[in-house]
Structure 1
Amino acid sequence: MGPARLWLLGAGILASVHCQPFPAHGDKSPGAHRPPGHQLSEPAPAYHKVTPTITSFALRLYKRLAAGTPGNILFSPVSLSSTLALLSLGAQGDTSTQILEGLGFNLTETPAADVHRGFQSLLRTLDLPSPKLELKVGSSLFLDKRLKPLQHFLDSTKELYGAFAFSANFSDPATTWRQINEYVRKQTYGHVTDGLPQFSHDTLMVLSNYIFFKAKWQHPFDRYQTRKRESFSVDDRTCLRVPMMQQREMHRFLYDQEVACTVLQMGYSGSAWLLLVLPDPGRMRQVEAALQPETLRKWGQLFLPSLLDLHLPRFSVSSTYNLEEILPQIGLGSIFSLEADLSGITGWLNKTISRVSHKAAVDMNEKGTQAGAASGLLSQPPPLNTTSAPHAHFNRPFLLLLWEVTTQSLLFLGKVVNPVAG
């Protein structure tokens, strides 16, 4: 048998793992890092131990993507980080440690067991039903009938990450590829399609982690006020005509003079809000360099509610990335090395991941959003005159950060450079 492969998909995240298909000596346990199967009672929700790290990881990854991606950027920090954390359950020794530390966890302050319980708490909380918000998070394992995964790996992934195992026939790769893509499409209500690249007959397993978000604005736009063809400057040389939504409503926003950007917080009818960051003309790189957790905290403390004249493009964007060249630059190179030990999955040694891809999509319209970031002088932009409201005209590239409020988790992070690129 040739080199076997393991694929991971999450909203979508994909990774192929090259394995040498011979059994390990003895029944090797997944290591002492594997957390117990019960939830510990804590004074604060366990997800507080992971959400700040997810945000920091997301901002580090965003900057790497922005350095090499001239167009739209979009990914799900929750989906990507939870998939990598789940993968660490199948890793042994140093490899498990390197994955979690690569995500940004200090395992002295937050042991691996607490990290996994934090993700368990986060995913369960996000998946709670809400009458005003559609938010669906889940994981599934598709295992080839030739594969004999270790039971404690399956038990841990089910208990901590809600991952259920399904049997699949990877000897017919084309059919199985269509079945798994159809599964992900249904789980994300058609929002993430064809996220999984074609794989061959030596694929043995696919891990699917998906996230779907849909919510209505607290202040919906009137579609009759949308201008169908308004100017949007992609860059100094390219100007597009895009549908531009308009409203005059109370919003929480600020102008950060030091960073040179307008920051707008838009609420949804459920427990989520959207942060939109509009750099001053020519200041996108300056704003991106300032994206730090402390910057987000500063903005969150200084928002002021005010009547705002808002112009926001209606858009639908998606992005797909191969991250195997990016993740090593932010500390996750260990899972791509020949020394990586992922034998906690099947007991086989010498597995290395050769590919990690990610796909995400966001659709924003008049009703709401569907989707399958130091001290300074801050103030509101001054009104043009005594009778007009401050305005925010998103007619050039801007950043978006979509948050779930209860857990303070970053569901999606991106940059809209071309609203009609698809």
Structure 2
Amino acid sequence: MKSALYLCLLLLGLQVQGQQQEQQIHHPPEDQSQANSENLPYIKLAPSNADFAFEFYKQIRDESGDRNIFFSPLSISTAFTMLSLGARSNTLRELYKGLAFNLTQMEEQEIHEGFQHILQLLNDPHREAQLNMGNALFIDNKVKLLQNFSDRVTNFYYAEAVSSNFQNPPEALREINKYVETKTHGKIVDLIKSLDEETVMILINYIFFKGSWERPFSNLSTTDGDFFLDAKKSVKVQMMHQNKDFNVHRDEKLSCWVVELPYKGNVTSLFVLPDEGAMKQVEDALLKETVSIWLRSFKKRNIYLGLPKFSVSASYDVKNLFKKMGVTEVFSDQADLSGVAENLLLKVSKAIHKATVDVREDGTEAAAVTLLEIVPMSLPFPPPPHITFNKPFVMMVIDKTTDGLLFLGKL
């Protein structure tokens, strides 16, 4: 029987207002942080992370039905790639395939260097938008990590190693939940309710984003409105409004509108509004190539924009979703995580991902699923079109420094 490695993935959306959190990760030199060379590991990593993000989204979509979707692809990728430092043989190959890494295009060392650079860039304290990401390993005090694994998770992922007494589950739970609560500024309380009897380690990744809109909405323009769940059902929401110039693209092939809402700093969000009945078509086409076309096709135009204020929380059983993507061995008794600890056979017993988002007049807490709706005008000199997020829409938050897809969802 293998001892259980309880892998806990955590994503948080926190308040827009507040002081910048002090960083423990040093940001890279100025020339490196602004370098745009395609040979930099984090740039080479971006296509793989995008492929994983959209594939994982589709797995959630197939299970969730009409429920909201919201998660951080980067949080999940980071946690499992960090774990891969201790994986061997077929377990490692499955993880790499599931995470969409192509070893013919990137060496293993470059993958980990890429995540190292992403962590450095995201945690740069000079960013205007606050974006923090971190990792932690809670380890039973009877477990001794292999030196190579310990050195590499510290070097590449800046992981905090915390010795814990898993023989005393209530004490371990309190310690872990307190860590999570502190890192999330009290937004996530009592994340873990219980521990497997054989748990010897918990791996946590958290991501924290609070961004202010480049152009905030006025509180005075917020009005009550209808959000149409389908053709027959609607709910009342508070709808924010603006009449300004935005980057807009009409994708006739996919029958949707795409609007960019940038945050102060180097983070932006895309809101995608499918026409009636076109949501599945848009979701099926969610690929890095599609988003790249949208970004290249934007044109600045004046629009009447309507966006609902909303808060969404979502939790996912990553273990179940990964199994559907062909990543099975790491969760089984055939798992080879022999590079993690001395004289201990390990497997992942659970993988949890939790995300929250809050979108309001001054900005976004984390990021979330977003829907757009538009009423196009076909006059020779049309007045500004109305683009109103009052039916199911897709939202993604992109870090322009790393080309990283931080958050992805559907409301």
The alignment-based identity, stated in percent, is 38
> Would you identify which runs of 4 or more consecutive aligned residues in structure 1 move more than 4 Å?
383-387
Unaligned runs of 5+ in 2: 13-28, 369-374
Residues 228-239 of structure 1: pairs in structure 2 closer than 5 A: 229-239=224-234
Select which of 123, 131, 137 maps to 1:135.
131
Q: Is structure 2 residue 212 aligned with structure 1 residue 213?
A: no
* Segment of structure 1 superposing worse, 197-206 or 154-163: 197-206
Residues 8-407 of structure 1: pairs in structure 2 closer than 5 A: 8-12=7-11, 44-70=39-65, 71-227=67-223, 229-348=224-343, 350-371=345-366, 381-382=376-377, 386=381, 388-407=383-402
Query: Which residue pairs with 1:24 in the alignment?
Result: none
Unaligned runs of 5+ in 1: 14-38, 374-379, 417-422
Amino acid at match of 2:291: L
Amino acid at match of 1:152: N
- Once residues 194 and 379 of structure 2 are traced to their aligned partners in structure 1, the CA distance between those partners, rounded to angstroms, is 55
Q: Deviations over 1:38-89 (max 9, x none)?
A: x9x9954320121111111010010111011020111111110010000110
Tell me how large the CA RMSD over aligned residues is. Answer: 2.3
Amino acid at match of 2:390: N
SS at match of 2:167: coil
Q: TM-score, normalised by structure 1?
A: 0.85
Amino acid at match of 2:257: T
Contact 2:143–2:342 (Cα < 8 Å) also in 1 = no
Against the structure 1 CA distance between its residues 381 and 235, is the aligned structure 2 distance closer, same or farther, given a 3 Å change threshold?
closer
* Segment of structure 1 superposing worse, 111-120 or 395-404: 111-120
Offset, 1:131: 4.7
Q: TM-score, normalised by structure 2?
A: 0.88
Offset, 1:5: 2.2
* Segment of structure 1 superposing worse, 291-300 or 184-193: 184-193
* Segment of structure 1 superposing worse, 4-13 or 206-215: 4-13
- Once residues 131 and 51 of structure 1 are traced to their aligned partners in structure 2, the CA distance between those partners, rounded to angstroms, is 20
Amino acid at match of 2:292: R
Matched residue count: 383
Q: Deviations over 1:274-304 (max 9, x none)?
A: 0111111121111111111111111111000
Q: Deviations over 1:311-368 (max 9, x none)?
A: 0000110110112222122232232233220011113454332322211111110000
Contact 2:237–2:308 (Cα < 8 Å) also in 1 = yes
Query: Which residue pairs with 2:4 in the alignment?
Result: 5
- Once residues 196 and 45 of structure 1 are traced to their aligned partners in structure 2, the CA distance between those partners, rounded to angstroms, is 37
